[in-house]
Copies of this chain bind each other. A is one copy, B any other.
Amino acid sequence: MINKLVQKIQETHAPIVVGLDPMLSYVPSHIQKRAFEEYGETLEGAAEAIWQYNKEIVDHVYDLIPAVKPQIAMYEQFGIPGLIAFKKTVDYCREKDLVVIGDIKRGDIGSTSAAYATGHLGKVQIGNHAYAGFDEDFVTVNPYLGTDGVKPFVDVCRQEKKGLFILVKTSNPSSGEFQDRLIDGRPLYELVGEKVAGWGADCMGDSYSYIGAVVGATYPEQGKVLRKIMPKSFILVPGYGAQGGKGADLVHFFNEDGLGAIVNSSRGIIAAYKQEQYAKYGEEHFAEASRAAVEAMIADIDGALQNAK
């Protein structure tokens, strides 16, 4: 799957991923109205609204981008109906040949991590049959529990030719509270980065490992260091746009081959129609605003990468 991701990035010239993190407040009123008329102001109604919203955005941007990253929390808040909308979104994006990164940030120990890995990347055996629960292509994983929390995910990836992005240095303001603390003179995130490189060494695709890392766009200096510590790991970079990261901040997350990073934007794309610069599209044409925002983001990052050459 890492080979497919690389190939799609090369085809689209777009090392970006659209974060499908729908808040109900982002969903235009005409979509909410239609969903609530059919299902009432219920969990089912909200789930239908976010699914229709996602679908229209995906229909308008899928040809421009290699990948999407649905954030499961945004669906989980609507209980079972929300998770059904998550699954529909994953399935629909895969039909559109997009690489799907499930932003699930799971992590546990032994058989419990194995169960998460099975549910999101693998297949569960029931009698003589095997079923995929959610069937994403990549998932994000939290490393706090150490190797025996991560290894069951790696094992399933090897079996299924799928991949991981492991949290190393997150984009939020207080990420330094634990991640930046010095251990033998070096921050914890560097040690985690070294582990990621180690876990990934046995999991190579053609040019990159299928065990990647998450490093926030808001920490470009740290990104530069981590790029060197994990030369064969793809870095998933959240924090572009709404969280403050800009194209020029991102060049050091990439390798000299112009690859090695994939930059996420969520709100900046899916709720673009709420920004002044895309207001002309109006609520009705929200998905066209998203397409314009994707084009602008590609130009911003491509421009920064060209300038850096």
Residues on A lying within 8 angstroms of B by beta carbon are 21, 23-24, 36, 41-43, 45-46, 71, 73-74, 76-80, 82-84, 87, 105-113, 115-116, 118-120, 124, 126-129, 131-134, 142-149, 167, 170-179, 181-184, 188, 191-192, 195
Residues of B within 8 A of A83 (CB): 80, 83
Known A43-B131, A78-B124; further 9 A-B contacts with Cβ < 8 A: A41-B129, A73-B119, A76-B115, A79-B131, A143-B178, A146-B175, A146-B176, A149-B170, A181-B188
Q: CA A120 – CA B79 in complex, angstroms?
A: 8
Given contacts A46-B126, A131-B42, contact A78 B119 (CB under 8 A): yes
Q: List 21 A-B contacts (CB under 8 A).
A: A23-B111, A42-B129, A43-B124, A43-B133, A71-B115, A76-B115, A76-B116, A76-B120, A77-B119, A78-B133, A79-B119, A105-B108, A109-B170, A144-B167, A145-B167, A145-B174, A145-B175, A149-B170, A181-B183, A181-B188, A183-B183
Residues of B within 8 A of A42 (CB): 126, 129, 131
A106–B73 CB distance below 8 A? yes
Given contacts A83-B80, A105-B106, contact A149 B129 (CB under 8 A): no
A132–B79 CB distance below 8 A? yes
Q: CA A21 – CA B113 in complex, angstroms?
A: 12
Which of B76, B107, B127 contacts A133, CB < 8 Å? B76
Residues of B within 8 A of A129 (CB): 41-42
Given contacts A119-B82, A127-B41, A174-B147, contact A77 B179 (CB under 8 A): no
Among A115, A124, A128, A129, the one with the most B-chain Cβ atoms within 10 Å of its Cβ is A115
B82–A41 CB distance below 8 A? no
| Least Cβ–Cβ distance between A258 and chain B, in angstroms | 29
A77–B145 CB distance below 8 A? no
Which of B79, B105, B109, B182 contacts A171, CB < 8 Å? B109
Q: CA A107 – CA B73 in complex, angstroms?
A: 10
| Least Cβ–Cβ distance between A233 and chain B, in angstroms | 18
- Give 8 nearest A-B pairs by CB, closest first: A79-B133, A146-B177, A41-B127, A146-B174, A109-B172, A77-B119, A73-B115, A77-B115
Which of B41, B131, B176 contacts A126, CB < 8 Å? B41
Which of B74, B111, B118, B176 contacts A115, CB < 8 Å? B74
Q: Which residue of B lies closest to A82 (CB)?
A: B133
